[in-house]
Amino acid sequence: MYLCSMYSKELLKGTISAIILKLLAENEKMYGYQIARKVKELSDNKIMIKEGSLYPALHKLKEDGLVTVETVNIGKRVRRYYSLTPAGVIVQKEKVTEIEDFITTLGNVLFKS
């Protein structure tokens, strides 16, 4: 429903926070639209994070103290830049390692005979 992609929803479930944290680790600070665009670009349009999933996830990460927000006024609107907190840097590494390990294990189970 929220993660729109060529992959099934079940496969991508649970990866959105890892994707966001990883992008923020590689780019000092990003705003929501920029994150959505970047994911689309990096995945060759195969993963498109819907806004209905992106912002709730970002706000949850902020609530958990993993990201921090800096606001910049652009004319009459406010742009909210998200960046990792020190705790976010640690969790990001953990999450990415966990997914890497999971992919390896999955490969062993599914493709090694």
Partner 1 sequence: MSKLTDEHIEFIADQVNKSKIDSNELKEDLIDHFCCIIEDDIRLGKSFEESYNRAYQIVCPNGFDEIHQETILLLTSKNIIIMKKLLFSLGFITTVFLVTSFLFKALHWPGAGSILIVASFLLIFVFVPLVLLYFYKREFSKYISYKLKYVFGFLGLALLLTGSLFKVMHWPGSGLLFLVSVAVINFGFLPFLFYRLYRKSVVRESEEHRSIKWEYITGFLGAVLFLTASIFKLFHWPGSGTMLVSSVVIINFGFLPLLFIRLYKKSAV
Whichever of 23 and 31 has its CB closer to partner 1, that residue is 31
Whichever of 21 and 97 has its CB closer to partner 1, that residue is 21
Least Å distance, CB 41 to partner 1, is 13
Binding site for partner 1 (CB under 8 A): 2, 31-33, 36, 51-53, 55-60, 62-63, 69, 71, 74-80
Whichever of 64 and 100 has its CB closer to partner 1, that residue is 64
How would you classify the pairing of strands 67-74 and 77-84? Answer: antiparallel
Least Å distance, CB 112 to partner 1, is 35
